[in-house]
Chains A and B, each alone.
Chain A
Amino acid sequence: NAGVTQTPKFQVLKTGQSMTLQCAQDMNHEYMSWYRQDPGMGLRLIHYSVGAGITDQGEVPNGYNVSRSTTEDFPLRLLSAAPSQTSVYFCASSLGTGGYTFGSGTRLTVV
């Protein structure tokens, strides 16, 4: 039981490049979310999903896409990376009653 697995752990992108941050969970959780963490800002919700085939926008969705084709996976796509997207990204999953389990994060730098 690995919990929530995020890959890669570190990534450097050039402005304008695209990439996908991977997230997988093996706990059969219906709810999955992506957050970004910036100094002094806490964790801000980017996108979330309440089940396979269902996604919705969070607080800061611009510049990011998500899809949920399976219960286990919830990838986050950066369409055209910008320096403002330099951040630490966390994926989390839950059964739905509040207690989210977080991955260990992806540290992204856009130059």
Chain B
Amino acid sequence: GQQLNQSPQSMFIQEGEDVSMNCTSSSIFNTWLWYKQDPGEGPVLLIALYKAGELTSNGRLTAQFGITRKDSFLNISASIPSDVGIYFCAGHNYGGSQGNLIFGKGTKLSVKP
């Protein structure tokens, strides 16, 4: 089946630093999504990307849909302590198996004040 490779697995950074993480796939997707999960909670949608090449921002977060449709990245600028959590990428192809949202294994972010 389809698999997403998300990297890095974990990051330890200083408050104020920028963060970059990415996801690659062996096959193409119509949609790329980025989620954040806080401890004890479900994932929360941060950014959704629907077109190859699309660059979308949500506050300090910026994500891009790769032009090959097989990759995506997420950048966080000027990190703050509340950015701590696990970030997941997810790929989706609507029109086929509509419920088939495939997740990466996550990037665990730790921020040192």
Contact = CB atoms under 8 A, between A and B. Distances in A.
Q: Could you say which interface size class chain A belongs to?
A: 20 to 34
Interface string A61-99: 000000000000000000000000000001010001111
Nearest to A97: B94
Contact of B33 (A48, A90, A96, A98): A98
Given A50-B98, A56-B97, A98 B43 contact: no
A42 B45 contact: no
Nearest to A48: B99
**Chain A facing B: main interface SS:** strand
B92 interface: yes
Contact of B42 (A31, A44, A56, A90): A90
A45 B99 contact: yes
B6 to A, nearest CB: 8
Given A42-B88, A42-B106, A96 B98 contact: yes
A99 to B, nearest CB: 5
A99 B58 CA distance: 15
Contacts of B6: 42
Contacts of B98: 31, 48, 50, 96
A7 interface: no
B31 A43 contact: no
Given A40-B105, A42-B88, A42-B104, A101 B45 contact: yes
B43 A90 contact: yes
B100 A42 contact: no
Interface of B: 1, 6, 30-31, 33, 35, 40-45, 48, 50, 88, 92, 94, 97-106
Given A31-B98, A33-B101, A42-B103, 7 more contacts: A4-B42, A42-B106, A43-B103, A48-B99, A92-B42, A98-B33, A105-B40
Interface of A: 4, 31-33, 35, 40-45, 48-50, 56, 58-59, 90, 92, 96-105
9 contacts: A45-B100, A56-B97, A59-B1, A92-B42, A96-B94, A96-B98, A100-B45, A102-B35, A105-B41
